[in-house]
Amino acid sequence: MSGLNCMWLSAPTDLTLLPNDVHIWRIELDRPEAQLENLAATLSSDELTRAHRFHFQEHRQRFIAGRGILRQILGSYLGIEPQQVQFDYQHRGKPVLADTLASTGLFFNLSHSQGLALCAVNCDRLIGVDLEYIRPMSDVEALAQRFFLPREYDLMRSLPAEQKQEIFFRYWTCKEAYLKATGEGIAQLEKIEIVLTPTEPARLQTIKDWSLLEIVPAENYLAAVAVAGFGWQLKCWQY
């Protein structure tokens, strides 16, 4: 496995984000009821409406935890209370800081799967993160043929059965991280070429001025972070 196993540290109280820093936060979404109530109190009315649309309580609680903790993280960088963080939404639903906060230059992206979430934060660079729980899928080859480029599909198909799922999710997270950074949709998956092997880290083939980093945030999870440009420093925080 070529992904990076980060050293997840407790964030300092005087959290600072230098111009070339990229911070990745690992967030456990299954939280005690009392904490969920406090987090829900910081959400906007539209976020609460979204939360209550979830049929299953588990999904509703994880959404509240993810958005509430995102607000706490961003508020700590911005020096404001979590409920003061305001979002706008791009045409595909990607949350960004509202115009009133855009002058801060803070970019972020959030991804969640099952009970885990990752939040990527930096200054002045487009950034995207995708997190996937590795689950057994019977149609993994068909999905690869549909969404991947021919040479990506050929590589995956050539591998032993036990490696196919991992390679599929590596391709998927890398493509999604870039598309989330740019705000493009899943329809563009097959236009983004990723070069990787079972033992070598991934890189973006079609886009030259972007960095790509694969992360193993927990057992049975894979993630990727796409960042515009190069020369940045990674720090990994455990919320």
Low-confidence ranges of the chain (pLDDT < 50): none
Q: What's this model's pTM, rounded to 2 decimal places?
A: 0.94
Q: Do residues 236 and 22 make contact, with C-beta atoms less than 8 angstroms apart?
A: no
Tokens 């990607």 belong to which residue?
Answer: 94
Instruction: Identify the structural domains of the chain with CATH numbers, from first to last.
Output: 9-130 (3.90.470.20), 133-232 (3.90.470.20)
* Closest to 166 in 3D by CA, of 128, 188, 145, 196: 196
C-alpha span between 39 and 42 (Å, rounded): 5
**pLDDT score of 127:** 97
**pLDDT score of 2:** 59
Q: Do residues 224 and 214 make contact, with C-beta atoms less than 8 angstroms apart?
A: yes
C-alpha span between 187 and 147 (Å, rounded): 8
C-alpha span between 155 and 106 (Å, rounded): 38
